[in-house]
């Protein structure tokens, strides 16, 4: 069996497992959802590893590679205890259904790999792309934590909103680490790190948006629905814009 054929089978298995795990977490009693979640994580990791073996580099860019890594990151995050069992189930379900959506996208879109540019062999460019995708996944997870809080009991809602804010801050740290890697890469290799361009503007606007969501005025933060909406916007918006850009890219 070739690696390409193996990846094809893992892709369908991962898509089915994420859908099942989400349904178990949302609807089914008991702890079956945890076992399904570990299966999702194993399949998502296998998908990334096989892809790396085919590419001879980590999956770094392009729609299919990004969706694959988003699914892997969300699979890891979904299993982290958030301090509330009922909140954990709802949050995990949203993560796994998002993973299903990322995988199902390629039932209609092309699941080709991105061209293997020589710049991907440079360590700082690899760090930049890896950390950028990881930060987007963390921001999306923070959005899901905020959305999961809607309609929950007050104590669960408070826990999830706090959890969401913590991951907004964590995502910001990962995002800034990626920006530093990109800065170093441009400084050492391309030489135009000091030039302002559209990409720098977008990164700055995203940073300001997340910062605003994580530091709401006290009167706004005291309103759970408003706070949930504010903390949900950055991750959802970033992922939608990023995937749209990837899909429209030639």
Q: Which two tokens stand for residue 100?
A: 């299903």
What pLDDT was estimated at residue 4?
93
3-state class (DSSP) for residue 81 = coil
CA distances from 225 to 56, 146, 157, 240 (A): 46, 9, 10, 22
What pLDDT was estimated at residue 147?
97
pLDDT along the chain (250 residues), means of 10: 92 97 95 96 97 89 90 97 95 98 92 74 85 95 98 96 97 93 73 64 86 92 95 94 80
What pLDDT was estimated at residue 114?
80
What pLDDT was estimated at residue 145?
98
What pLDDT was estimated at residue 120?
72
Please tell me what DSSP assigns to residue 106.
Answer: G
What pLDDT was estimated at residue 173?
96
What pLDDT was estimated at residue 105?
93
Residue written as tokens 């720098």?
200
What pLDDT was estimated at residue 5?
93
Start-to-end Cα distance in the chain: 31
3-state class (DSSP) for residue 222 = coil
What pLDDT was estimated at residue 148?
97
């Amino acid at each position: 069996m070739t690696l390409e054929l193996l990846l094809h089978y893992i892709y369908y298995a991962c898509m089915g497992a994420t859908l099942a795990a989400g349904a178990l977490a949302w609807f089914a009693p008991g702890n079956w959802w945890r076992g399904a979640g570990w299966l999702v994580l194993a399949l998502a990791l296998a998908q990334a590893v096989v892809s790396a073996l085919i590419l001879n580099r980590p999956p770094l860019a392009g729609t299919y590679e990004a969706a694959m890594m988003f699914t892997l990151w969300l699979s890891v995050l979904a299993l982290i205890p958030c301090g509330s069992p009922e909140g954990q189930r709802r949050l995990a379900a949203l993560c796994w259904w998002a993973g299903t959506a990322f995988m199902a996208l390629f039932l209609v879109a092309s699941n080709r790999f991105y061209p293997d540019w020589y710049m991907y062999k440079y360590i700082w460019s690899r760090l930049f792309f890896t950390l950028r995708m990881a930060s987007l996944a963390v921001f999306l997870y923070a959005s899901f934590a905020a959305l999961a809080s809607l309609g929950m009991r007050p104590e669960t809602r408070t826990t999830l909103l706090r959890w969401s804010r913590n991951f907004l801050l964590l995502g910001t740290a990962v995002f800034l680490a990626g920006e530093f890697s990109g800065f170093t890469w441009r400084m050492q290799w391309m030489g135009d790190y000091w030039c302002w361009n559209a990409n720098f503007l977008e990164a700055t606007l995203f940073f300001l948006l997340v910062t605003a969501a994580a530091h709401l005025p006290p009167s706004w933060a005291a309103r759970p629905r408003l706070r949930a909406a504010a903390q949900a916007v950055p991750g959802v918006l970033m992922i939608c814009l990023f995937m749209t850009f990837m899909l429209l890219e030639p």
